[in-house]
Amino acid sequence: MNLKKIMCLFLIFSTFLSIKPSNAFAESTDKSVDDFTQLADKYMKKVLEEYHVAGAAITVVKDGKIFFEKGYGYSDVSRKLPVDPNTTAFQIASVSKLFTATAAMQMVEQGKLCLDEDVNHYLTAFKVDNPFSKPVTLRNLLTHTAGLDNKLPLYLRSSGDILFDSLEPLENELKKNMPSVIREPGTFCEYNVYGMALVGYLVEKVSGKPINEYITDNILKPLGMENSSYGLTEAVLGSMTKPYKNKDGKYIESTYTLISDHPSGSICATASDMAAFLLMHLNNGDYNGVRILNDHTAISMHTHQYPSDDRLTGYGLGFYEAVRNGWKTIEHGGYLPSFSSKLTMLPERKIGMFIAINTDSKSSGKVCNEFIDEFYKFFTDKGDNANRILEENTPLDLDIEKINGSYIFDGYGHYDASKLKSVLITCKLQCDKDGNLMFTGGGLKLKFQYIGEGFFYNKENGYYCKIAEKDSKMVFSFLSSDYEKVPSMDKKWFMVTLGCLPLILLSIIWLSIDIIRNRRKQDVRHLILKCILLLLSVFILAYFGLNGYMAFKSMTADTYIVLNYIMPLIFVVCCLSFLLTVVAAVWILNLWIKKKYTLVTRLYYFILIIAAIINIIFMYIMNGFRI
């Protein structure tokens, strides 16, 4: 054999070895690939044109291979650069929690962490503040049942100028901001980002490596995720898709987001790399002969852990459950401004999918869920137990008055100013005497039928929900979480406060005009009173304005100003409102005693101060006086 032939063979062999194993043997010969491609192309055409999404990437795995992989639209609109599933990286947000959970379970395998040990046994720099006798465990953290209060993490916007290495060390972040335990661990499921951040810190403690290095060395590299990164780094920045907002049909370049509790949402990944992660989990921890997890460990991550009745969708160890086309799936979604993503798997069918998009638009929020539903309709026959489940008409044995009402539909800080979310972001339950339950919230409207023991069933999508009384509070369990009923007093104060706001607004207008027009005609004391009432009215409206601005900044994941300025300012506004209310109330009481000014004027001042007192009480209930 001459030297030329030897060199050719060497080059061919080298090229063969350099191809990522998951792609080298991945292309399915299944003729249904063409059918699925048509389905995906048709749907994504709608996403790009009607939903105004700039770019998206999809990977589908089936039977240990990549079944389908494709990019759609642009990663850079101005330069017309197409999305490439192999090289275009997306911020996958909370899907990152699955990597953190996988890392923690590796530590469990090695005996360095225990699922049911008090996490405080591993902590030295700080402790989880837990007033209950039942400890917080790693299992609680992975199933979001630790009972932690909600707290806003620090979100930073970056145009590529702020990178992961500029974030404060995780230990410092948790030492300063770790929320307290407010519910008995293991009794209530509420999604909590700081819980998963603590999981990442536990991995740091027992492995001796920062969590970003640990996940890179023990998950990303062994899986060959070469175009992915833990955090926004210099290395991955050149591969990142641009983030976009769509307004009036125009794409506006946005910013990336960095988070202080980074184990809960920092990974940047390509669709192709995510296929390797999917294949590893679907093969119970093995990827092309590389063992990431033991069989038993991987299966435990995929297995229902909470709640005790597995008819309800709940959590495995990191994964949450959903019902798709009548089948219970395991998955995790993620959202950061401009980036939405979702990973889903049906292990018993050996299928899974990852999808990511790079745009916020009016319709972008439904893309991932809609396409996952189409994915399962394509690969599964509809599971239908509805007729069997609903064949008996079970009489309702629950108190309708206790059931009906608004339920808190989003996490909020029980002990900070974000408590206002508890009366603003709610879902509604309405049940009749025949056991027909209507759920409205989060863009959903679903009808359930009572089947006994507090359970209701929806025959259209196969979801169960449950209503029970816990600690004298009504709790609605649905969509892998528990939701408390809004306390009746909170709701009443909120409604009364809302009723006062038009009067407060009109007073600002009338008092401003009156002070300016009559500043030389009235006595100084009366002018001072009017100025006090005007300031008080302005502060009351400012309280709601600041809360609205806080909500906006929180939704756009820009919380630096919220944590450092808005929350402290809300506290100041509440204190000043209280002081002005006391001064004005004493002053107006004196007017009534001395019968000064006209009866109409005194009545107006009396009604205004009552409205102010109602607002002060509401501010107190909503933690406005806590900082």
Percent of the chain whose predicted confidence (pLDDT) is above 90: 89
3-state SS record for 333-383: EEEECCEEEEEEEEHHHCEEEEEEECEECCCHHHHHHHHHHHHHHHHCCCC
DSSP 14-28: HHHHHS-HHHHTT--
Report the pLDDT value the prediction gives residue 20, as an integer from 0 to 100: 40
pLDDT of residue 536: 98
How far CA 40 is from CA of 26, 365, 367, 405, 435, in Å, comes to 18, 18, 12, 40, 40
576 or 390: which carries more pLDDT confidence? 576
Average pLDDT over residues 526-534: 95
Q: How much is the pLDDT for 31?
A: 54
- pLDDT tens, residue by residue, 326-338: 999 999 999 999 9
pTM of the model: 0.92
Quick one: average pLDDT of 565-573?
97
Q: What's residue 30's pLDDT?
A: 57
Q: Determine the Cα–Cα distance for residues 296 and 585; give it in Å rounded to an integer.
A: 68
Please give the backbone phi and psi of residue 69, each rounded to the nearest 5 degrees, phi first: -155, 125
The 10s digit of each residue's pLDDT in 212-262 is 999 999 999 999 999 999 999 999 999 999 999 999 999 999 999 999 999
Residue 167: pLDDT over 50 = yes
- Residue 165, pLDDT above cutoff 70: yes
84 pLDDT above the threshold of 90: yes
pLDDT at res. 555? 87
Q: How confident is the model at residue 383 (pLDDT cuts 50, 70, 90)?
A: low
Is pLDDT of 297 > 50?
Answer: yes
**Is the backbone of residue 98 left (phi > 0), alpha (psi -120 to 50) or beta?**
alpha
Tokens linked to 626: 């806590």
**Strand 359-360 with 244-247, pairing:** parallel
pLDDT at 386 (0 to 100): 57
| Higher per-residue confidence, 1 vs 110 | 110
pLDDT 10s digits, 11-57: 333 333 333 433 333 444 455 899 999 999 999 999 999 999 999 99
**Can you give the three-state secondary structure of 505-565, one letter per residue?**
HHHHHHHHHHHHHCCCCCCHHHHHHHHHHHHHHHHHHHHHHHHHHHHHHHHCCCCHHHHHH
Asked whether residue 6 carries a pLDDT value surpassing 90, the answer given is no
For the segment 426-434, the average pLDDT, to the nearest whole number, is 97
Separation in Å, CA 361 to CA 248, 520, 549 = 9, 54, 20
Segment 366-382, tens digit of pLDDT: 999 999 999 999 999 98
Q: pLDDT tens, 182-195?
A: 999 999 999 999 99
Model confidence at 179: pLDDT above 90: yes
Task: Note the pLDDT of residue 302.
Answer: 98
Cα 529 to the center of its chain, rounded Å? 46
Long-range contacts, stretch 184-187, CB < 8 angstroms, 24+ apart: 184/132, 184/134, 184/147, 185/130, 185/132, 185/134, 185/135, 185/136, 185/137, 185/140, 185/145, 185/146, 185/147, 186/134, 186/140, 186/145, 186/147, 186/306, 187/145, 187/147, 187/470
Mean pLDDT, residues 420-447: 96
Over residues 571-587, mean pLDDT: 98
551: Cβ contacts below 8 Å, ≥ 6 apart? 420, 421, 424
Q: If you average pLDDT over every residue of the chain, what do you get?
A: 93
Closest CA to 285 of 100, 113, 105: 105
pLDDT of 598 strictly over 80: yes
Whether the Cβ atoms of residue 251 and residue 359 lie closer than 8 Å to each other = yes
What pLDDT is attached to residue 393?
Answer: 81
pLDDT number for residue 368:
98
